[in-house]
Structure 1
Amino acid sequence: MTAARVLIVGGGTGGHISPGIALYEAFRGRGVRACFLTGANDGRFLSDGDIAGEDLFFYGAPGFTKNIFKLPAFGMRFVLSVIRAARLIKREGIDAVIGMGGYVSAPALAAAVLKKTPLYLCEQNTVPGKVTTLFARKARKIFTTFEETRDYLAGDLHERLLPLGNPIRGKVFRDMDRESAKKVFNLKHCRRVVLAIGGSQGAVSINELIHGLRTRFADDLSGVGIIWSTGEYSYKKYREAAKNDSDFGSVYLSPYIDDVGVAYRAADIAISRSGSGVMMELAAMGVPSILIPYPHAAMNHQEKNADVFDKAGASVKIANNDAVPEKVAPVLGELLSNQTVLERMARKARAAGKPMAGADIAGTVIGDIVNDGKERAGV
């Protein structure tokens, strides 16, 4: 490994942690030591082997609050988290801090500012989140998933913005043909496969939609298999319901799909929320999609994300209020029956994807670290 060391920080949801893990992989692949700092309760988003034990650190970063009675406790926890992050930066000899978004990253980014350590931001969504907005002027570069994010940042920040994409984990890129992938989920007998995913914590409306499609539009979905990720909270409910389904053999039900790369290979189309992480994975794998934005996302960012792919022809956007079986069944049926349309959407998806985002971001940061070293050495 080279002498360069970076600190990646993020958490709160899988949408902030997964691209952070992907970026960790990219740095490690280039021989750079990467440390990963996340929230005290975010271990649930990590699997064994995601981050090497010596590179993984936790701290008690507090969630933002508007409750004036909770502000003193928030302030105390924030300061303590800044101190812990600053000590980590010093002890590990960190050359750059990269924030992946979410409240968890804020104290470490503040520590980077105080320590005068070069700071970088990764903004996953079209509309910048609070952390990106707060630290944008302190950042050396702002890596974005979408070019459209430029419209939401002040003009003097545009020169720092690089729309390189959202880092994608290596396990997503599975080299497998569709029939072999379908066999993994016991769906080889199905003529079509729909992948239903609601994000790291599941999505109630998508779960209800899939359940309704299977119970009330079974004839329309004859021969269609479903890979269904319910989220941990809803898994038991739909597992029991599915057991009574006469076509249970055409459903693969799981709280979370560990080998999502195989699921992408098996799927003819996906039904999903429009978080940027899953969108860019679908794009990289050329999977057409029906996107149902989460209506309560901060700054309505999922709506804006979905607009990008809908306009590009990679997806069909359906509002959450319209995500009911009676309205979705005709759309889904028409797409599944038209191979030409699916192939066109797949091409559009690949065109919108940025599969090399992790490598490109890592390369940019490493280049800056090398140049900083040359300047200090007077080269």
Structure 2
Amino acid sequence: MRILLTGGGTGGHIYPALSVWNYLHQDTNDASEVLYVGTERGLERDIVQRAGLPFMAIHAAGLRRELSLSALRTAFQTVRGYLEARRILKNFCPDVVLGTGGYVTLPVIFAAHGLGIPSVVWEGNAQPGLTNLLCARRATVMAVALPGSERAFKAARRVVLTGHPRASEIRLADDARRSAARQLYRLRPGRKVILVFCGSRGAQTVNQTVLQMAALKLPERPDVQLILVTGQASYSEMEQLAKRSDLPDNVQLVPFVDDMPALLPQVDVVVTRAGAGTVAEVASLGIPAVLIPSPYVTGNHQEPNAARLVKHGAATMLLEKDLTAPTLWNAVANYLSSSHWRQAHAAALELATPDAVDRLASVVLEAASKRS
């Protein structure tokens, strides 16, 4: 089988596609061929090439609803990307195309439709983006991660609920990897672990508030350990601020986590953004979460992601404009109570789809079988 993957801009669009490929690649005993199509401007080239997959770039740009010079430039880039995608598809001759969102998905899915190649488009957020809404009309199957998202795709030929592939991948770390994580992060028996992470680049406002909270509250809580993942770009600045704050030894700063699937299952509470992948991961592991949706994302789509967990009692949402050391501590401390933790843990697991990668891969294989 030949599969063409596309999706770009951020890790939230790239990693789900790679998760499906990893699953299919193992399941088919190296019999499949893959090509990833992205752009030069997003993160996909570096991430995909580090994963060892062949990569080709086309032009793509964010769609605009208004009539303007910028909108005309965007339209030109999209048409150019469509023609480039057609050439790639004709040369590679995939059995199926999987698109996981981002600007690049549109020209590739439109080109696949024009050439009669089956395609699956996957949407991870509660509030779909414009690209996937437009692609849904031309995809063979529209797959969604969250219940209720189906209603946004009334024009699709078929819509299926699969869950988020990262919910499966986060559960795969073996005992040796988990033991290595315990040693690396000095996890101690009897201590409850709070993990704070806001993506590879971190979030300065969150980082600063967490350090203020830690200085105020954690000296009196030796039963708690806090790990703050600052992001590589912010690490030096946060490290200096931490030294001036005279933090206790139960607070640890790290620039990034190399093996999140090994560390996350050993955490009691997380403080994080509400990207679709992150929400799926913490739900899959049943970890109570304090979610701080990013106010800087397109369409404010992280708030609906967080709201779903909050509605079911699995998380607390704090908007960044309301974030202070006291409000953050109150939200975190609530889950340090055993009864509240158990309730949120059970609620999160009810929302989880641990077999999500299997579901989505099955949809992709079924679509590929329809290739004429």
TM-score where L is the length of structure 1: 0.87
1:268-283 to 2 correspondences below 5 Å = 268-283=268-283
- Quote the Cα distance in structure 2 between the aligned partners of 1:172 and 1:88: 35
Aligned residue in 2 for 1:81: 81
Q: Is the 8 A contact 1:9 1:105 kept in 2?
A: yes
Please tell me the root mean square deviation across aligned C-alpha atoms, in Å: 2.6
**Partner SS for 1:26:** helix
- Quote the Cα distance in structure 2 between the aligned partners of 1:151 and 1:325: 38
Equivalent residue letter for 1:217: K
Aligned residue in 1 for 2:315: 315
Deviates more, 1:185-194 or 1:23-32: 185-194
- Quote the Cα distance in structure 1 between the aligned partners of 2:38 and 2:171: 22
Structure 1, unpaired ranges of 5+: none
Equivalent residue letter for 2:17: G
User: Alpha-carbon deviation of 1:147?
Assistant: 0.8
Count of residue pairs the alignment pairs up: 366
Aligned residue in 1 for 2:18: 21
Q: Is the 8 A contact 1:187 1:250 kept in 2?
A: no
The 1:285/1:238 distance shift into structure 2, 3 A limit, reads same
1:38-77 deviations in Å (ceiling 9; x for gaps): 2213347845875324x33333423345683334543443
The 1:311/1:45 distance shift into structure 2, 3 A limit, reads farther
1:61-210 to 2 correspondences below 5 Å = 61-65=60-64, 68-154=68-154, 157=156, 160-168=158-166, 170=169, 173-176=172-175, 181-188=181-188, 191-210=191-210
TM-score where L is the length of structure 2: 0.88
- Quote the Cα distance in structure 1 between the aligned partners of 2:48 and 2:242: 30
- Quote the Cα distance in structure 2 between the aligned partners of 1:308 and 1:195: 21
- Quote the Cα distance in structure 2 between the aligned partners of 1:172 and 1:244: 38
1:317-365 deviations in Å (ceiling 9; x for gaps): 22322221111212322321x1232133222222211122122111122
User: Alpha-carbon deviation of 1:94?
Assistant: 0.9
- Quote the Cα distance in structure 2 between the aligned partners of 1:270 and 1:301: 20
The 1:46/1:349 distance shift into structure 2, 3 A limit, reads farther
The 1:300/1:5 distance shift into structure 2, 3 A limit, reads same
Deviates more, 1:35-44 or 1:278-287: 35-44
Aligned residue in 2 for 1:225: 225
1:166-209 deviations in Å (ceiling 9; x for gaps): 11273652234977643321232771111111134322332222
Structure 2, unpaired ranges of 5+: none
The 1:275/1:130 distance shift into structure 2, 3 A limit, reads same
Equivalent residue letter for 2:289: S
- Quote the Cα distance in structure 2 between the aligned partners of 1:164 and 1:90: 29
User: Alpha-carbon deviation of 1:259?
Assistant: 0.6
- Quote the Cα distance in structure 2 between the aligned partners of 1:115 and 1:349: 42
- Quote the Cα distance in structure 2 between the aligned partners of 1:142 and 1:64: 20
Q: Is the 8 A contact 2:218 2:224 kept in 1?
A: no
Q: Is the 8 A contact 2:218 2:248 kept in 1?
A: no
Equivalent residue letter for 1:289: A
Equivalent residue letter for 1:42: G
Deviates more, 1:245-254 or 1:227-236: 245-254
Q: Is the 8 A contact 2:286 2:345 kept in 1?
A: yes
The 1:181/1:244 distance shift into structure 2, 3 A limit, reads same
1:26-45 to 2 correspondences below 5 Å = 26-31=23-28, 32-43=32-43
- Quote the Cα distance in structure 2 between the aligned partners of 1:44 and 1:50: 10
**Partner SS for 1:186:** coil
Q: Is the 8 A contact 2:314 2:345 kept in 1?
A: yes
- Quote the Cα distance in structure 1 between the aligned partners of 2:323 and 2:335: 16
- Quote the Cα distance in structure 1 between the aligned partners of 2:256 and 2:104: 23
Q: Is the 8 A contact 1:171 1:259 kept in 2?
A: no
The 1:146/1:181 distance shift into structure 2, 3 A limit, reads same
Q: Is the 8 A contact 2:125 2:305 kept in 1?
A: yes
Identity over the aligned pairs, expressed in percent?
25
The 1:176/1:98 distance shift into structure 2, 3 A limit, reads same
1:360-379 to 2 correspondences below 5 Å = 360-370=359-369, 372=370, 376=372
- Quote the Cα distance in structure 2 between the aligned partners of 1:280 and 1:329: 24
The 1:102/1:289 distance shift into structure 2, 3 A limit, reads same
1:54-65 to 2 correspondences below 5 Å = 55-65=54-64
